[in-house]
Each structure stands twice: as C-alpha cells, then as structure tokens.
Amino acid sequence: MARDFEETFPDVILKLKHPVEATLTLGMIKKFDQVAIRLDEPERFLELIKEKVHDNVVEH
C-alpha cells in the first residue's frame, strides 16, 4: 500500500483479484493488489456491504 507522510490506520482493506497500476507522485508507477480506505461512517459502510451481499445471494 502507498503511504503518505504520516502513519494511517484504514477502516477497510480491499484485496483485489488482480493487481492494478497507480501513478504516484512524481509520475512513479507501481502495482497494487490492496486498497486501504478510511471511512467517515464505517458502521454504515459495513451495513451496506452486508445488504449487497445478501441481495446478491438471494438473486442467484
């Protein structure tokens, strides 16, 4: 994961199926297979994910 100047503590880390390229500062390109996210409302995010997973399971 790319790090800024201070240590961060993500609420969620998404693990990607395939690495993706990201352009960093000064034009450097690096591949990542995880995305760290800080959320304003972590509880609400978890609720939404659970709803979407449940809806997806029920539809199939």
Helix, strand, coil % over all residues of the chain, rounded to 5:
35, 35, 30
The domain ranges of the chain are 12-59
Q: How far apart are CA 17 and CA 38, in angstroms?
A: 21
Q: Which helix (H) or strand (E) holds 23?
A: strand 12-23
pTM, full prediction: 0.59
Interval 2-60: pLDDT, tens? 666 777 789 989 999 999 999 998 999 999 999 999 999 999 998 998 998 888 777 66
Q: How far apart are CA 23 and CA 58, in angstroms?
A: 39
Q: How far apart are CA 40 and CA 21, in angstroms?
A: 26
